[in-house]
Structure 1
Amino acid sequence: MSFKIAIIGAGSVGFTKKLFTDILCVPEFKDIEFALTDVSEHNLAMIKAILDRIVEANRLPTRVTATTNRREALEGARYIISCVRVGGLEAYADDIRIPLKYGIDQCVGDTICAGGILYGQRNIPVILDFCRDIREVADTNAKFLNYANPMAMNTWAAIEYGKVDTVGLCHGVQHGAEQIAEVLGAKSPKELDYVCSGINHQTWFIELRLNGRPIGKDELVAAFEAHPVYSKQEKLRIDVLKRFGVYSTESNGHLSEYLPWYRKRPEEITRWIDMSDWIHGETGGYLRYSTETRNWFETEYPQFLEAASKPIDPAKRSNEHASHILEALETNRVYRGHFNVKNNGVITNLPQDAIIESPGFVDRFGINMAGGITLPEACAATCMASINVQRMSVHAAIAGDIDLLKLAVLHDPLVGAVSTPEEVWQMVDEMVVAQAQWLPQYADAIPAAKERLSKSKVKTREWAGAARRSVRSIEELRAEKAALKQAG
């Protein structure tokens, strides 16, 4: 087989390498072309060198090209994969920093909440540019695979306004299933069968079977509470399991910021999170992790390049959906996964226009969703709160409507639990002004926002958050890595 895959945002070096090696684990895909594109020539050069080394070491006919010209990369592509972060870490830092001034403490801030909504405002105009290029220069039947957050908003915009065949992909379901299998004592995650459905980052394991045996709420709660690690790291997630009756796919830290109950007061945050790793609820945890990872990669690049000389091992192919979807579409080897698509009746008690994440099967005929799923009422209610915010956020981003944007932020569950309307109005003005260079649709609204800020009397505070850690230096990371290696 010979076709072209374009990766937008290929400068996400580690993730691009994973996608690349996963796809090359499919024997029929050795003779394809990867076209890498990114706004950073520096990052493109680094990732191309790594992928070229992999091709050379494995003696493959695979072709790798790299260009900052996106249309050139997309020309003739059958599959387009996006893993972009519009505004990079600079804008992301404001997504965390500014809401903290108004008492909003986020762990990740890339899906909803104040940070995720503004992230969507930056991404959606760019997503529509991608879609325009796909329609104009890509293969006639091109498929757009979106890995970028905010997943639901980006996918919603691409389908509804970009008019491109789009699927959103995430790995939260797989990670949640691995946890459940572990606490239940399974020898392999493959022993666990499940139905998991909802919306991205709020998907719910509504049916579980271990080696064919149904697993109920009480057994699952007991298993998690008995686990020596997860009982400490996933306290909030276990509490939601007890109250809702089903387990959420999302990490302790991520889940905490989608709900109005656990991060509303500093003392509540420290009660429910765990500081052993960023993903369990640390203030700005993913920002810190992303910053350290970037610094670490820049410093340790020669070692990463050397590691690329090793043979590809199909046994180590990851459970990221992309390679499995492409394999199913091209070879008709059927793949079952969980995909972000427009609902259209798949989940009976969520809106038709919502972007849901639910089980489906892939073959030559495309992605075929399993329909007729009804979520438990509490799960549906929680999803609905986010869906309403997502819908308003998408519409605001398309229209450049700052008033609708403020209403979207106001209706966010955590924001509403923490901030007053006056605070929300000022916070959005401040975020839009700070990120103006990435928000072209709000250009006409920026002068008035600046004027309002100059006259505002809403008080703010400089606050690091309830559980903030400093970014570690390269030397500290090296020392920690060495200590772990010695201990292991």
Structure 2
Amino acid sequence: MSFKIAIIGAGSVGFTKKLFTDILCVPEFRDIEFALTDVSEHNLQMIKAILDRIVEANKLPTKVTATTDRRKALEGARYIISCVRVGGLEAYADDIRIPLKYGIDQCVGDTICAGGILYGQRNIPVILDFCRDIKEVAETNAKFLNYANPMAMNTWAAIEYGKVDTVGLCHGVQHGAEQIAEVLGAKSPRELDYVCSGINHQTWFIDLRLNGHPIGKDELVAAFEAHPVYSRQEKLRIDVLKRFGVYSTESNGHLSEYLPWYRKRPDEITRWIDMSDWIHGETGGYLRYSTETRNWFETEYPQFLEAASKPIDASKRSNEHASHILEALETNRVYRGHFNVRNNGVITNLPQDAIIESPGFVDRFGINMTAGITLPEACAATCMASINVQRMSVHAAISGDIDLLKLAVLHDPLVGAVSTPEEVWQMVDEMVVAQADWLPQYAHAVPAATERLSKSGVKTREWAGAARRNVRSIEELRAEKAALKQAG
């Protein structure tokens, strides 16, 4: 087979390398072309060197090109994969820092809450640019695979406004299933059969069977509470399991942003989170992790390049959906996964226009979703709160309506539990002004927002959050890795 895959945001080096090696685990895909594009020439050249080394080491005919000219990369592409972070870590830092001034403590802040909504405002104009280019220069009926957050908002915009065949992809379902299989004592995650449905980062394991045996709430609660690690790291998720009756896909820290009962007061935050790793609830945890990862990669690049000389091991192919979807579409080997698509009746008690994450099957005819799923009422209620915010956020990003943007932020569950309307109005003004370089649709609103900020009497505070850690130096990271290696 010979076709072209374009990867936008290929400067996300580690993730691009994973997608690349996964796809080349499919024997039929040896002769394809990968076109890498990114706004960073520096990152682009680093990842191209790594992928070239992989191709050379494995004696493959695969072609790899790299360009900062996005349209050139998209020319003739059959598949386009996006893993962009618009505004980079600079804008992301503001997504965490500014809301903290108003008492809003986020662990991740890239999918929902004040940070996630502003992230969507930065992404959506760029996503629409991608869609325009795809329609103009890519292969007819090209498929757009979006990995970038905020997943639902980006996918919503690409489908409703970009008019491109789009699917959103995430690995939260797979990771949650691996946890469940582990606590239940499965020898392999493949022993677990499950139906997981909802919206991205609020997806729920509504049916669980281990080797054909149905797993109920009480059995699952007991298994998690008996686990020596998860009982400590996933306290919030276990509590939600007890109250809702089903387990959530999302990490302890990120889930706390969707369910404000656990994150609206500092003392409650420290009660429910665990500081053993950023993902369990640390203030700005993902920002710290992303910053450390970038610094580590820059410093240790020669080692990453050397590691690329190893043969591709198909047995280590990851469970990221992309390679499996492409394999199913091109070879007709059926793949079952969980995909982010427009609802259109798949989940009976969520709106038709919502972007849902639910099971589907892929073959040469495309992605075929399993319809007629009804969520437990509590799960549907929490999903609805986010869907309403997502819809307003997408419409605000398209129209450049700053008043609608403020209403979207006001209706976010955690923001509404912590901040007053006056605080939200000022916070959004401050975020729009700070991120003006990445918000072209709000250019007309920036002067008035700046003027309002100069006269506002709403008080703020400099607050690091309930559980903040400093970014570790390269030396600290090396010492920690060495200690872990010595320990076993």
TM-score scaled to structure 1, two decimals? 1.00
Structure 1 position 304, deviation (Å)? 0.1
Cα distance in 2 for residues equivalent to 1:183 and 1:260: 27
In 1, Cα distance between equivalents of 2:232 and 2:428: 35
Counterparts of 1:287 and 1:319, CA distance in 2:
24
Unaligned runs of 5+ in 2: none
Q: Distance in 2 between matches of 1:384 and 1:299?
A: 44
Instruction: Measure, in 1, the Cα distance between the counterparts of 2:439 and 2:17.
Output: 30
Q: Which residue of 2 aligns with 1:217?
A: 217
Cα deviation 1:77-103 (Å, max 9, x = unaligned): 000000000000000000000000000
* Helix, strand or coil at the partner of 1:386: helix
CA-to-aligned-CA distance 1:23-53 (integer Å, 9 cap, x gap)? 0000000000000000000000000000000
Distance of 2:484 and 2:229 partners within structure 1: 17
Give the C-alpha shift of residue 259 in structure 1: 1.1
After superposition, residues 302-451 of structure 1 pair within 5 angstroms as: 302-451=302-451
Give 1:343 shift.
0.1
1:81-480 equivalence runs, <5 A: 81-480=81-480
CA distance in 2, matches of 1:71, 1:111: 27
Residue 354 of structure 1 deviates from its aligned partner by 0.1
- Per-residue CA shift, 1:347-369, capped at 9, x if unaligned? 00000000000000000000000
CA deviation after TM superposition for structure 1 residue 55, in Å: 0.1
2-structure distance, mates of 1:455, 1:437: 23
Distance apart, 1:478 and its partner CA: 0.3
* Superposition deviation, residue 184 in structure 1: 0.3
Cα deviation, residue 188, structure 1: 0.3
Aligned pairs for 1:43-82 (under 5 A) are 43-82=43-82
Cα-to-partner distance string for 1:428-461 (whole Å, 9 max, x where unaligned): 0000000000000000000000000000000000
Q: How many residues align?
A: 488
By how many angstroms is 1:386 displaced?
0.1
For residues 374-398 of structure 1, what are the alpha-carbon distances to aligned partners after superposition, in whole Å with 9 as ceiling and x for unaligned? Answer: 0000000000000000000000000
Aligned-partner Cα distance in 1 for 2:405–2:412: 11
Please give the alpha-carbon distance, in whole angstroms, between the structure 1 residues aligned to 2:172 and 2:348: 22
Question: Quick one: distance in 2 between partners of 1:255 and 1:276?
Answer: 17
Q: Structure 2: how far apart are the matches of 1:99 and 1:10? A: 30
Unaligned segments of structure 1, at least 5 residues: none
**Counterparts of 2:26 and 2:149, CA distance in 1:** 27
Distance 1:69 1:194 in 2: 42
Matched residue SS, 2:139: coil
- What is the deviation of 1:145? 0.1
**Aligned partners of 1:204 and 1:112: how far apart in 2?**
17
Q: Distance in 2 between matches of 1:140 and 1:483?
A: 52
For 1:431 and 1:266, the matched residues in 2 are separated by 23
1:261 counterpart SS class: helix
For residue 45 of structure 1, give the secondary structure of its aligned residue in structure 2.
helix
CA deviation digits over 1:273-294, x for unaligned, max 9?
0000000000000000000000
State how far apart, in whole Å, the 2-side matches of 1:423 and 1:268 are: 22
Q: Cα deviation per residue 1:402-441 (whole Å; 9 max; x = unaligned)?
A: 0000000000000000000000000000000000000000
- Give SS of 2:296's match: helix
Report how far residue 133 of structure 1 moved. 0.0
SS at match of 2:460: coil
SS at match of 2:262: coil
Alpha-carbon distance in structure 1 between the residues aligned to 2:218 and 2:205: 14
**Shift of residue 141, structure 1, vs aligned partner:** 1.5
Counterpart CA distance in 1 for 2:354 and 2:259 is 19
Runs (4+) off by over 2 Å: none
Q: Secondary structure at the match of 2:261?
A: coil
Give the deviation of 1:313 after TM superposition: 0.2
1:260 Cα deviation from its structure 2 partner: 1.6
CA distance in 1 between counterparts of 2:266 and 2:140 reads 52
d(CA) in 2 for partners of 1:484 and 1:241?
A: 32
State the SS of the aligned residue for 1:367.
strand
Distance 1:253 1:260 in 2: 12
Q: Deviations over 1:325-372 (max 9, x none)?
A: 000000000000000000000000000000000000000000000000
- Listed one character per residue, the Cα deviations across residues 118-174 of structure 1 (whole Å, up to 9, x for unaligned) are 000000000000000000000001000000000000000000000000000000000
Q: Distance in 2 between matches of 1:375 and 1:484?
A: 42
TM-align CA RMSD: 0.2
State the SS of the aligned residue for 1:300: helix
